[in-house]
């Protein structure tokens, strides 16, 4: 990636420094995770780790570049989430728990699993994981493209004329972004090949389900039109289940 790549994006005036921060973080994220994996495993010869690096980079950074093309203003808002004073207090806690568990602990645990050979999953697991990860990428980036209110924290965006979004994946479930994120989390130990990795993945996934429930309650009580939307789109995450 050329050094001036991100500066050129800022120069087009669609992105401010906060939007650039989102792009840089998304660019570096897969490399940081795989570095943690290699360090905890004590070696770099981990085929599943390299597959994960390629797939996660394509799904995350490739996806966020599509969002940048379609909805750059969203990235500017997502990048300044710390400045949003009306973020729900419980969401700040859940974000920290999810970030630590899903981003840091998960690759470290998988690396330890590989180092001490606690478990193993074969090539079919990797293939299934790649499919799930890319599917999750399509869903979450599609949601960000159609939903200009897809900020990083839970709040009623009165400063941005917050409206209910009913287009794209929001026709099928009320929180498609979390569906995509859960698929990412589940796919990670599958791609790299670790049964033990499902422990932190399961915890991170549970945090997302709790966040979905709390966010849905907030939108029901505070966002105009959401009750009517929820009557039409019955399910939060899983069609036919919940």
Cα–Cα dist 99/29, whole Å: 12
Which residues 6+ apart lie within 8 Å of 193 measured at CB?
48, 114, 120, 121, 122, 125, 126
Q: Which residue, 172, 177, 173, is CA-closest to 145?
A: 177
Express the helix, strand and coil content of the chain in percent, nearest 5 each.
70, 0, 30
Residue-range domains of the chain with CATH? 5-232 (1.20.120.1630)
Helix (H/G/I), strand (E/B), else coil: 228? helix
Which pair of tokens denotes residue 42?
């004590």
Cα–Cα dist 237/13, whole Å: 36
Query: Is 69 exposed, middle or buried, given 0-12, 13-18 or 19+ CB atoms closer than 10 A?
Result: exposed
pTM confidence score: 0.91
> Do 113 and 195 touch, CB atoms closer than 8 A?
yes
Which residues 6+ apart lie within 8 Å of 139 measured at CB?
169, 176, 177, 179, 180, 183
Which pair of tokens denotes residue 77?
């808002």
Q: Which residue, 138, 107, 95, is CA-closest to 29?
A: 107
pLDDT in tens, the chain (242 residues): 555 666 666 566 678 888 899 999 999 999 999 999 999 999 999 999 999 999 999 999 999 999 999 989 999 989 887 777 888 999 999 999 999 999 999 999 999 999 999 999 999 999 999 999 999 999 999 999 999 999 899 998 888 889 999 999 999 999 999 999 999 999 999 999 999 999 999 999 999 999 999 999 999 999 999 999 999 999 999 888 88
Which pair of tokens denotes residue 226?
């959401």
């Amino acid at each position: 990636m050329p050094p001036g790549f991100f500066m050129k994006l800022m120069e087009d005036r669609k992105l401010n420094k906060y939007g650039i921060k989102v792009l840089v973080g998304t660019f570096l994220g897969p490399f940081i995770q795989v570095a943690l994996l290699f360090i905890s495993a004590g070696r770099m010869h981990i085929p599943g780790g390299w597959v994960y690096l390629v797939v996660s980079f394509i799904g995350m950074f490739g996806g966020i570049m599509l969002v940048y093309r379609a909805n750059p203003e969203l990235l500017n808002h997502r990048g300044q989430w710390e400045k949003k004073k009306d973020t729900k207090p419980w969401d700040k806690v859940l974000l920290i728990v999810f970030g630590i568990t899903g981003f840091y602990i998960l690759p470290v645990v998988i690396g330890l699993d590989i180092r001490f050979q606690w478990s193993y999953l074969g090539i079919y697991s990797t293939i299934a994981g790649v499919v799930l990860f890319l599917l999750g990428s399509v869903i979450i980036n599609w949601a960000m493209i159609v939903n200009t209110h897809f900020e990083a924290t839970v709040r009623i965006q009165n400063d941005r004329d917050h409206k209910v979004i009913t287009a794209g994946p929001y026709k099928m479930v009320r929180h498609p972004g979390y569906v995509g994120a859960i698929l990412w989390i589940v796919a990670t130990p599958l791609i790299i090949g670790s049964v033990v990795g499902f422990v932190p993945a399961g915890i991170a996934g549970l945090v997302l389900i709790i966040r979905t429930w709390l966010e849905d309650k907030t939108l029901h009580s505070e966002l105009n039109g959401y009750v009517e939307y929820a009557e039409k789109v019955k399910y939060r995450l899983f069609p036919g289940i919940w």
